[in-house]
Amino acid sequence: MSNPRPITVLHVSDPQFGKNHRFGRLAPDMTPDESFDTLLSRLKSDLDLLREERHGLRPDLFIITGDLAEWGLKSEFEQALPFLVEITDHLELSRERVAIIPGNHDINRRACESYFNDCEANEEEPRTPYWPKWRHYHWFFSQFFRDVPGFDFTEDEPWTIFEVPDLKVVIAGLNSTMRESHRDEDHYGWVGEAQLRWFAERLKRYREEGWFRIGAVHHNVRRGEVADDENLRDADDLNQFVGPYLNCLLHGHTHHAKWDRLREGVPILSTGSAALEKDVRPEDVPNQYQVIQFWPDRLKRWARQYEASRKGWIGDTRASETGDDWREEHKVAFRDVTAAFPPANPGTDVGTGESVDGSEKARREAHGREHALSRDDFLSRVEEVTRLKSPDARLDRIRAADPPIEYLRVTKREEGFARTYPLAAVAGGVDGERLEQFLIVHRRYRATDTGVTSVLVYGGERAAAELEERAARERVQLVSFTEYQGLIDFRHFVEQQTARLQSDQAYPPSLYVPQRMRYRVGEEDRSSDDALGTIESWLVQSGRFVLVLGDFGTGKTFLMRELARRLGATDSPLVPIRIELRKLEKAQGLNELVAQHFANAGMERIDLPAFRYMLEQGLLALLFDGFDELALRVTYERAADHLDTLLQAARGDARVVVASRTQHFVSDRQVLTALGEKLDAVVGRRIVRLAAFDRGQIRQFFINLLGSAQQADDRMSLLDDIKDLAGLSANPRMLAFISTLEPEDLQKARDAEGEITAARLYELILTKWLKYEFERQSPPGAVPVLSEDDRWAAVTQIALHLWERTEAGVAVGDLTQAAAFAAERLADLKLDVDVATHQVGSGTLLVRDENGNFSFLHQSILEWLVARKSADQLLAGGSATALRARSISTLMADFLRDLAGHAVTSNWARQVLAGEASDVEKRNALLVLERLEEEIHEPVDLADKTLAGADLSKQDLSGARLTGADLTNALLVDTILNHADLSDAVLRDADLTRAKLHKASLRRADLAGARLLGADLTGVTLESANLRRAKLIGAVVDREELYSADTYGAALPDHAAVLPWLDSALGPLASVAWSPSKGKLDGQLLASGGDDNTVRLWEVESGRELRRLEGHSGSVQSVAFSPDGQRLASGGHDDTVRLWEVESGRELRRLEGHSSWVLSVAFSPDGQRLASGGRDNTVRLWEWQSGEMLIALGHVADGWVAFTASGRYRFGGEVSGQFWHSIALCRFELGELDPYLPLRMAEDEVIIRRGS
């Protein structure tokens, strides 16, 4: 008879993590494709396929038959450990469902040789089995099974018996490497008689009890299939001693995986290497693994092999007897397996179908009853606990007729007296009726013993308080099953905690937005868009210690509250206990913190040993919110000291989450150093970083808050209109502050009307923030801390420091100076300067990066602080020194205007422009007047000033004196420059689109490459001006005046231009490429390739040939510059791609692989990779520095390639946006000329295709 529920086993062997590992190892610089090509990813994907889409296979057991490493190195086992952890978690298996045995590659030959040498030095004989050879395997085994009692691998017994009680399965983990050493003559499989007899003695009991018995060994059991050193030499002994007690035998170390038998009724099932490279596997042998299902009368297996060309696993038909199917089923009468497969007919053997008589039948029936009772009878479970609690007590099961109730009569000795009392059990919740029935029984006992106290154990919902009081009055203990086991019943606590979190107005669950986070697993950087869901799944799967780091306001508290609420509101197997550390007394041990928390929650007493037991057994999820609150007075040097307090909780199968501000620690290195070896001992450890909100998350917050997408979009639009306010909203707490602002106030700030301005909004938000930080660090009864004014002074000092030095961040030393400057009364506060430094770094407006550098949450905060300081100086009649240090932004100009007032700000700007001032200060003054929307009536003197890159758009600079000024790359769009003197000024690549230069002087001015599209140049003087490659399309200019300027290569209003002349002897040109418009070359070079087999470099302005690159033996069909312009790629009819150094013309590398003409080449945006397309209908991707071809794609008909802005290459079909317009020697992007040209294309306009 078959049981409908089979036992399913995943069998993997020989992954051999190391240099010959087929799938490589994870690394931070992997591409997305490479990160998917790992044994972990490929195996998980295939197992999901077998489970979900095809066969419903869900493994109950995971067995690995050796060779996890290649040379027994610790680094190899460090790769294997996360693989096993992740696969086990993915299969949702506990560690008790995994069996691991060593293979010959798991021994460390160097360690073994060292042991032999030590023995020789000590004049001793080496003792088999040479224990040091398993040093690193033992470390790996201990790490994986650290919390599983009974799974051992010791020096005295280097083998393991894996007992799985809930399945009634036992796995004999045989070690066949007992004689392996570093010596070649010892390279074979051997178990040994001592080990075999040890297993035989123990397996005998499991056979008698009807468990399913699996043997697992590494080496081939059938000799002669492969080289003898791969075989088990004492296989006959294995069959003799252990064979009678096994139901099946699994092994690895083979490559054919054929069906075989050890003896009648004991099949041998083997599999080959899961991950070795092809070169180190026998010829034509794939990577393999198998899934096996066992019923009492048959087995079925699914053999899988890896097919590299398909990037996935397929069926392995060579495993079947016929060789034509990867699935096979065999009839096998498994004997003595009644516990694993309880028989439908109690008088029949479940495997053989034979009749079972006499004592054997009675034994099996008794076992069946015991199995059923332990599974279904709640009173039996209570009875079992009672026997454990009171081993000397006598228990009699009594079935009363009136009332009809079954209970235990307990007789035990207490302090010299024998007491008898009834103990009943109610599987569900207890109510008044159930209690009343038991009271009838209780009163009978009380009639003869007035001191009797009876016990009623229930397993359902928590009993009502009134019911507990009524029972107590009758001297009946009403106890939940959890409490009766000696554990703590947290149901009432969790209900109250969940209700508080559900109704919390400060953190309403309806406003929660899923958060993003980054974390690392081994060497792999990972991320999640649902931090809450990911952490919750980690906790449910297995023991974890998760440290959640985030800058202030990134939503750590909201995350922890939602985690506790969700675990409490669902049918989670975990009891969530959220401990808010800021509300507790500081610097206590774990027991004290827990006891104080439960006391505050109204639990009168707490059994701390029971609490620690439940925690270590994985029954609780301990959530510590605000680790940075644990120690009130702390320095950066000691910031991690108190982490040890919470690490005390990370033992056994504990589930612990700790949230802390990133700024609490001076650097990520300090966190890792503090965790050190303590956290290394926790297999499931994770350190995660919460990320700021992106735009989608901000929008979702407003949808949650306002109730509709339309209202959310309106509010988002309003924030966008107030410069950088949307940037501040990336911080969740800042977003919460901003959301409290009235829309009317936001509109006024946007329109610069009324009292509410952008500067005033920032002041309100930052004041609220620092007030929160002060109150957070100074709860009632706390010692004095830095005041709000102290914090304002400190952050202002830091802002000025960063502004004047143009630095991105400051180190801890700079924070110390700021703290001392801000709080000269530190002595009055009795506050150490290092403690004050920590309060500035962790309790103001600063964030910390991974290297320990502190900066402001957003650049706009720094600018507001500097603007406020400058405004105070101007209002006091002084000078604003910060405005001389660097150029200000438009937002900072608005801040200055709003904080100092219109009149004061205007007066300062005009004084600067009229007098002697630095280039930076004059540029800032111009910007301020623009933001004030004031015209400059008096002429401005900016002669010889450096204004390169300045934005002077839309300003009125009529009559300005700009002689000799450097305006390189300046923005002068719509700027009024009528009658201005720009003689000898440098305006190279400046943008003067639609500028008004009526009667301006441009004598000897350098406007090479400048944009003058649509400009008014009437009456302008252009004597000796340089207009090379200048763009004058649409400009109004006197034609005669142009003759006095150098217009070589310029795009003139009537398109008449002097074009460069290339020697016709060159022959037809097949391709051209312009050097990048940004960078060292700045669009100054043109490369060409043609039928003369050469690549030529031309100077754009002069048309002069600079360099000739020779090497191709056929026509050059494509040329392309690298993004930095330092290298040039070419491809041609000689089927090669060549890399050239632009500056020297030297050939750097030749890339060969195409079997026909190369028609197109293109660099990736980062310049690291090169794509080529050819007439052989392939596209190839190269790492040009090494010459390695990364990938070749076939069946690409067109043969051209291009890269998108994201760096992904494209090929074939139409390419949008891959063209430009060229007039003379001026390049125009698509659409740039639309306002100035008719829709039809001009006759002398040339279209050049990139990479053609």
**Stretch 294-311: mean pLDDT:** 86
Question: How many other CB atoms sit within 10 Å of the CB of residue 1246?
Answer: 13
Question: How many other CB atoms sit within 10 Å of the CB of residue 936?
Answer: 20
Q: How confident is the model at residue 273 (pLDDT cuts 50, 70, 90)?
A: confident
CA dihedral of 185, 186, 188, 194, whole degrees rounded to 10: 140
- Per residue in 468-510, pLDDT (tens digit) is 899 999 999 998 888 888 778 888 888 888 999 998 877 889 8
What is the Cα–Cα distance from 353 to 350, expressed in whole angstroms?
6
| DSSP-derived secondary structure for 517-567 | EEEEETTEEEEES-HHHHHHHHHHHS-EEEEEEE-TTSSHHHHHHHHHHHH
What is the Cα–Cα distance from 1031 to 1012, expressed in whole angstroms?
6
Cα 914–chain centre separation: 56
Percent of the chain with pLDDT over 90: 26
Coil vs helix vs strand at 1083 = coil
What is the Cα–Cα distance from 1041 to 1018, expressed in whole angstroms?
10
Which residue range is the domain that position 1200 belongs to? Answer: 1064-1215
**Stretch 914-943: mean pLDDT:** 82
Q: Which of 472-476, 886-890, 1085-1089, 1232-1236 has the lowest mean pLDDT?
A: 1232-1236
**What does the block give as tokens for 48?**
């999901």
What does the pLDDT read at residue 632? Answer: 46
Q: How confident is the model at residue 962 (pLDDT cuts 50, 70, 90)?
A: very high
What does the pLDDT read at residue 974? Answer: 92
What is the Cα–Cα distance from 1045 to 1004, expressed in whole angstroms?
9
Whether 464 and 508 map to the same domain: the answer is no
- Per residue in 823-848, pLDDT (tens digit) is 555 556 566 667 777 777 777 777 76
Strand-by-strand arrangement of the 1158-1163 sheet: 1158-1163, 1170-1174, 1179-1183, 1188-1193
Answer yes or no: is pLDDT of 304 > 70: yes
Percent of the chain with pLDDT over 70: 76
Q: How confident is the model at residue 1243 (pLDDT cuts 50, 70, 90)?
A: very low
Question: How many other CB atoms sit within 10 Å of the CB of residue 1235?
Answer: 12
Cα 1234–chain centre separation: 46
Answer yes or no: is pLDDT of 354 > 60: no
Whether 576 and 646 map to the same domain: the answer is yes
Q: What are phi and psi of 88, to 5 degrees?
A: -60, -45
What does the pLDDT read at residue 20? Answer: 67
Q: What are phi and psi of 572, to 5 degrees?
A: -70, 145
Sign of CA dihedral 137, 138, 139, 145: positive
- Per residue in 514-536, pLDDT (tens digit) is 999 988 776 678 889 999 999 98
What does the pLDDT read at residue 1220? Answer: 54
Residue 608 is assigned to a structural domain of this protein: yes
Instruction: State the first-to-last Cα distance of the chain, in angstroms, to the nearest integer.
Output: 73
**Stretch 787-791: mean pLDDT:** 82
**Stretch 420-434: mean pLDDT:** 89
Q: How confident is the model at residue 784 (pLDDT cuts 50, 70, 90)?
A: confident
List Cα–Cα distances, 105 to 26, 70, 79, 845, in angstroms.
Answer: 21, 5, 15, 55
Residue 814 is assigned to a structural domain of this protein: no
Whether 465 and 515 map to the same domain: the answer is no
Cα 418–chain centre separation: 62
Residue 1243 is assigned to a structural domain of this protein: no
What does the pLDDT read at residue 349? Answer: 46
- Per residue in 99-133, pLDDT (tens digit) is 999 999 999 999 999 999 999 998 889 989 999 99
Among 705, 725, 756, which residue terminates a domain? Answer: 756
* SS3 of 1152-1212: ECCCCCEEEEEECCCCCCEEEEECCCCEEEEECCCCEEEEEECCCCCCCEEECCCCCEEEC
**What does the block give as tokens for 538?**
């980690």
Whether 568 and 421 map to the same domain: the answer is no
Residue 770 is assigned to a structural domain of this protein: no
What does the pLDDT read at residue 988? Answer: 93
**Stretch 991-1013: mean pLDDT:** 94
pLDDT mean across residues, the chain: 79
Q: Please give the DSSP secondary-structure letter assigned to residue 990.
A: -
**Residues 6 or more apart from 1163 whose CB is under 8 A from it?**
1120, 1121, 1122, 1123, 1129, 1169, 1170, 1203
| Higher local confidence (pLDDT), 195 or 1236 | 195
What does the pLDDT read at residue 1251? Answer: 34
1195, 1177 in Cβ contact below 8 A?
yes
Write the CATH number for 409: 3.40.1350.10
List Cα–Cα distances, 425 to 53, 446, 483, 575, in angstroms.
Answer: 44, 19, 13, 24
| Higher local confidence (pLDDT), 259 or 186 | 186
**What does the block give as tokens for 1119?**
């040329």
Whether 999 and 1010 map to the same domain: the answer is yes
Long-range contacts of 257-262 (CB under 8 A, 24+ apart): 257/288, 257/290, 257/303, 257/316, 257/318, 257/319, 258/318, 258/319, 258/321, 259/319, 259/320, 259/321, 259/328, 259/330, 260/221, 260/222, 262/221, 262/238
Which residues make beta-bridge pairs with 1179? 1173, 1193
What does the pLDDT read at residue 629? Answer: 58
- Per residue in 538-564, pLDDT (tens digit) is 888 776 788 888 876 678 888 999 999
Q: What are phi and psi of 7, to 5 degrees?
A: -100, 125
Q: Please give the DSSP secondary-structure letter assigned to residue 782.
A: P
Write the CATH number for 1116: 2.130.10.10
Q: How confident is the model at residue 684 (pLDDT cuts 50, 70, 90)?
A: low
Whether 1019 and 1103 map to the same domain: the answer is no
- Per residue in 207-264, pLDDT (tens digit) is 999 999 999 999 988 765 445 567 899 999 999 999 999 999 999 876 555 678 888 8
What is the Cα–Cα distance from 760 to 548, expressed in whole angstroms?
34
Residue 897 is assigned to a structural domain of this protein: no
Answer yes or no: is pLDDT of 350 > 50: no
Q: How confident is the model at residue 1078 (pLDDT cuts 50, 70, 90)?
A: low
Q: How confident is the model at residue 1206 (pLDDT cuts 50, 70, 90)?
A: very low
Residue 1017 is assigned to a structural domain of this protein: yes
Coil vs helix vs strand at 281 = coil
What does the pLDDT read at residue 55? Answer: 66
What is the Cα–Cα distance from 895 to 870, expressed in whole angstroms?
10
**Stretch 1010-1038: mean pLDDT:** 92
**Stretch 270-286: mean pLDDT:** 56
What type of residue sits at position 488? I
Among residues 633, 627, 486, 659, the alpha carbon closest in space to that of 559 is found at: 659
**What does the block give as tokens for 1074?**
């312009």
Whether 1068 and 1020 map to the same domain: the answer is no
**Stretch 923-931: mean pLDDT:** 86
Q: Which of 1-15, 42-56, 580-594 has the lowest mean pLDDT?
A: 580-594
| Higher local confidence (pLDDT), 983 or 55 | 983
Q: Which of 480-489, 1010-1019, 1027-1036 has the lowest mean pLDDT?
A: 480-489
Q: Which of 750-754, 951-955, 981-985, 1117-1121 has the lowest mean pLDDT?
A: 750-754
| Higher local confidence (pLDDT), 782 or 195 | 195
Answer yes or no: is pLDDT of 814 > 90: no
Answer yes or no: is pLDDT of 69 > 60: yes
Among 449, 484, 519, which residue terminates a domain? Answer: 484
- Per residue in 624-659, pLDDT (tens digit) is 887 665 544 444 444 455 556 666 677 777 888 988
What does the pLDDT read at residue 1137? Answer: 94
Whether 540 and 623 map to the same domain: the answer is yes
Whether 569 and 504 map to the same domain: the answer is yes
**Stretch 324-331: mean pLDDT:** 84
List Cα–Cα distances, 1125 to 795, 1008, 1165, in angstroms.
Answer: 43, 20, 12
What is the Cα–Cα distance from 223 to 844, expressed in whole angstroms?
73
Answer yes or no: is pLDDT of 345 > 80: no
What does the pLDDT read at residue 374? Answer: 36
What is the Cα–Cα distance from 1120 to 1201, expressed in whole angstroms?
11
Write the CATH number for 1001: 2.160.20.80
Whether 1032 and 1096 map to the same domain: the answer is no
| Higher local confidence (pLDDT), 1106 or 1002 | 1002
User: How many residues are there in the chain?
Assistant: 1252
**What does the block give as tokens for 256?**
């054919």
**Stretch 771-778: mean pLDDT:** 78
Exposure on the CB side of residue 1220, measured as CA atoms within 13 A: 15
Whether 698 and 684 map to the same domain: the answer is no
Q: How does 271-291 read in b/e, with b if 16+ C-beta sit within 10 Å? A: bbbbbbeeeebeeebbbbbbb
Among 271, 300, 331, which residue terminates a domain? Answer: 331
Coil vs helix vs strand at 1000 = coil
What does the pLDDT read at residue 114? Answer: 92
Residue 90 is assigned to a structural domain of this protein: yes
> How many domains are contained in the chain?
6
Question: How many other CB atoms sit within 10 Å of the CB of residue 607?
Answer: 13
- For the chain, the maximum distance between any two Cα atoms, rounded to a whole number of angstroms, is 130
What is the Cα–Cα distance from 237 to 249, expressed in whole angstroms?
14
What does the pLDDT read at residue 1195? Answer: 55
Q: Please give the DSSP secondary-structure letter assigned to residue 961.
A: B
Which residues make beta-bridge pairs with 355? 348
Whether 230 and 124 map to the same domain: the answer is yes
Write the CATH number for 536: 3.40.50.300
What does the pLDDT read at residue 422? Answer: 93
What type of residue sits at position 778? S
Answer yes or no: is pLDDT of 862 > 80: yes
Among residues 605, 595, 397, 389, the alpha carbon closest in space to that of 484 is found at: 389
**Stretch 1053-1065: mean pLDDT:** 49
What is the Cα–Cα distance from 555 to 736, expressed in whole angstroms?
10
257, 273 in Cβ contact below 8 A?
no
Residue 788 is assigned to a structural domain of this protein: no
What does the pLDDT read at residue 1141? Answer: 92
Write down the pTM of the prediction: 0.44
Q: How confident is the model at residue 939 (pLDDT cuts 50, 70, 90)?
A: confident
Write the CATH number for 166: 3.60.21.10
